[in-house]
Structure 1
């Protein structure tokens, strides 16, 4: 960890806790800052705040009082989940107080370089694939970020002979200043989180931040098949490494004759890849590009691709019960992710879907519901999804209270040879704190059924 003096004796407000806020507050305290933590959860229920207080950090809980900014803070480190239209955040902007997220701190103290991955879909799978490929080649590699491990925690122990593979959300990327990865990856861009960003333009701008500080010595791996991504790429100063599932790219990664090539070198036949789903091909191309930039052998790449079957909650195969295959795709928190999952199967599907209502009408799902024989809905969007199901001609449509109830109902509507798929097309926050919790409940219900 770099021993920087940038924050010594500076007054800093950490806004919002959760994992990243706790890490940021502790780190800044170590770096000599005068830290105040402000979290909405009441102190009596806030274990994290209580522990920070024991470290000697000032803690204010229960609300976000705007008057707090009268204390003369020089910096705000904001939890990514707190939107910029929050009154205290808006006031900080009016006062021209810099606002960053915890990943910026991680970059500033890290001795290790970063491979940073963002995009609407495929981030977690791509991040995990890269990590596994580097590990298979016996490289010293760490994994962090939106995938579950806080970046600044990992960065504190990282050394200059290691590499940090970092998954980043648009929320996190809105709060960077100097962050500059050795390799940046933009998997794709589709409509998502518009309730947070306000407009697609702002969402795209946030994603583009991943390359804003890169120079010629860094690399930017980009989706050649998306014009919007290539617009960002052409503004980047980094060395571009494009990938495509449609075009032959002699200076990038592409598909030809049912095989994957990097700079015209054949890497692997597609039929030898264990990871299911056409949508995962883009993720694999990204991972191969990153691995080759780190001189990873084809043998190590192939070893991973022959065995890797996906990450938890992302089209994760759970088990087969009486000829029914159960898949957990709880991370499908938007419509596009669910369409990708549905395209992965030719068998009849019993679809479990529903969750937070963000104003979507779900009509984009209709062309992908041909194989869906039954639909089980839950959550705020249940009624909307049922209407879409009827429009698609699905005969068996049922509503339940939650995911746990959906599993036995789905089984009752299924036959041998069917796929039972949890792919909600919605965020989980109406009923579950995270999509991970929603997925874990699904898994437990499947095991209980067995």
Structure 2
């Protein structure tokens, strides 16, 4: 019997394990908390033919040993893709990556395609693993995959029909030696594409433009600024496809400049696969925002609470902060070793008071003070509950206030993930501010 080692017992690893077992492999699951230890894995590794590394797993000695022994090392996404390509009926794959906007674009593309009457599901870094979807063997027209840089590090044959890199900004520098390594991992999404495939790129992103020479697919260009050669862009209150007006900006239900950028990518996919333009408009004029993404979830008196727990990097939180000028901000979490200066500038310009939480709090406080932000406007709250309790004491709900949770980093120092962080935030707000209605 063929033997494989799966390193990591999260959603991705367990999906890979099931898929391999279904295809005749004996699978050894290694996870220092949930399965056999890495040390035990070292004694087993010479006997395996395939090594699946879960995306969250760093390059430990066990992973390095697999490379040393020339055992094929791949990601669950690559594994699932190879098995999917063996099927007679193959859905088209739309693959989405970037620093910000991945989940919104992935979700809305799936919902749009379904709204237009086609069979479509999403997977990857959202909901279930790609492997689980392949195991289910559902009859689908399209699969939309949200992919992180981690999931793209060890792809080899993965070739989506449509790929996109939404934007690139420094992130995960606790994992990557330099930002360029992170950007290059993202661009693996289109590495195996060929002419006849489609690659959608953001012409406002300098780091993406630098890497387009590595792409062999048919390139579609989107831009918030327009310009020569762009396929999808805004102009005079419309979203344009080449020279044709297709969507009225003012009617879009997803508000804000960052969501307009998301709409450009969604519209590009719609044009590429030939969806009905009237259906596209109906969908984009009425679709709702996603939970934890600039989610306006409660208004009490004149005080609005916004849950942007998905703000897990500086660029994402900057957009939220800029959208709510004069806000009271709750910020902080894990220290990703990122340059905090852009965040400091955004807070200086737009934030009236900042409540700092988590591991990053001390470092961010020092940089804020050095950057000229008044120390009296900084409150080291420690955690979410203390932040909400202090805000409850300090503000008059009948004055106009925007209370924004946008941490600018991950939550693993205090929460399991950003979803748990956002859920706790909303529960605490409702606990302390019992009046008001959900909006």
- What TM-score, normalized to structure 1? 0.89
Q: Which residue of 2 aligns with 1:411?
A: 392
Change (3 A) 1:122 1:394: farther
Cα distance in 1 between the residues matched to 2:13 and 2:21 = 12
Task: String of CA shifts for 1:164-202, please: whole Å, max 9, x gaps.
Answer: 111000000012121111100100111111221222222
Q: 1:100: how far off?
A: 0.9
Please state how far the C-alpha of 1:401 moved relative to its aligned partner. 3.0
Correspondence for 1:246? 225
- Kept in 2: contact 1:328–1:442 (CA 8 A): yes
- 8 Å Cα contact 1:112/1:158 also seen in 2: no
- Could you report, residue by residue, the CA deviation over 1:276-316 in whole angstroms, capped at 9, with x for unpaired residues? 22122211111110122121122222222222342221111
Q: Deviations over 1:137-180 (max 9, x none)?
A: 11111011112221111222355642111100000001212111
Q: Is the 8 A contact 2:119 2:139 kept in 1?
A: no
Q: Is contact 1:350-1:419 (8 Å) kept?
A: yes
Distance 1:317 1:174 in 2: 35
CA distance in 2 between counterparts of 1:389 and 1:414 reads 23
Runs of 4+ in 1 over 6 A off after TM superposition: none
Deviation, 1:375, is: 0.9
The alignment status of 1:13 with 2:36, answered yes or no, reads no
Q: Secondary structure at the match of 1:343?
A: helix
Maintained 8 Å contact 1:242/1:249: no
Q: Which residue matches 1:94?
A: 68
Aligned length: 423
Asked whether 1:343 is paired with 2:322, we answer yes
**Structure 2 partner of 1:116:** 95
* Alignment correspondent of 1:5: none
SS in 1 for 2:207: helix
- Aligned equivalents of 1:278 and 1:414: distance in 2? 29
* 1:296 to 1:186, Cα distance in 2 relative to 1, 3 A: same
Q: How does 1:12-411 map to 2 (within 5 A)?
A: 12-41=4-33, 46=34, 60-65=35-40, 67-84=42-59, 86-110=60-84, 111-159=90-138, 161-250=140-229, 252-346=231-325, 348-360=326-338, 362-369=340-347, 370-390=349-369, 391-393=372-374, 395-411=376-392
Moved more, 102-111 or 389-398: 389-398
Q: Is the 8 A contact 2:221 2:229 kept in 1?
A: no
Counterpart Cα distance in 1 of 2:39 and 2:146? 28
Contact 1:117 1:123 in 2 (8 A): yes
Alpha-carbon distance in structure 2 between the residues aligned to 1:119 and 1:297: 27
Q: State whether residues 277 and 343 of structure 1, in contact with CA within 8 Å, keep that contact through their aligned partners in structure 2.
A: no
- For the Cα contact (< 8 Å) 2:80–2:134, is it kept in 1? yes
For the structure 1 residues 324 and 75, does the alpha-carbon distance in structure 2 shift closer, same or farther, using more than 3 Å as the test? same
C-alpha displacement of 1:319:
1.2
Mark the runs of 5 or more structure 1 residues left unpaired by the alignment: 1-8, 47-59
Q: Distance in 1 between matches of 2:342 and 2:383?
A: 24
Q: Which residue number corresponds to residue 437 of structure 2?
A: none
Q: Residue 258 of structure 2 contacts residue 319 of structure 2 at CA under 8 Å; is this kept in 1?
A: yes
Please give the alpha-carbon distance, in whole angstroms, between the structure 1 residues aligned to 2:140 and 2:410: 38
Quickly say closer, same or farther: Cα 1:17–1:396, change in 2 above 3 A: same
Residue 199 of structure 2: SS of its match in structure 1? strand
**Superposed CA offset, 1:356-381 (max 9, x none):** 11233522123322231111111111
Report the Cα distance in structure 1 between the residues aligned to 2:135 and 2:212, rounded to whole angstroms: 31
Runs of 5+ in structure 2 lacking a partner?
Answer: 85-89, 435-439
CA shift for structure 1 position 250: 4.9
> What TM-score, normalized to structure 2?
0.92
Secondary structure class of the residue paired with 1:313: coil
> Which region of structure 1 is more displaced relative to structure 2, 165-174 or 111-120?
111-120
Q: Is the CA contact (8 Å cut-off) linking 2:334 and 2:409 kept in structure 1?
A: yes
CA distance in 2 between counterparts of 1:274 and 1:364 reads: 29
Q: Distance in 1 between matches of 2:251 and 2:229?
A: 23
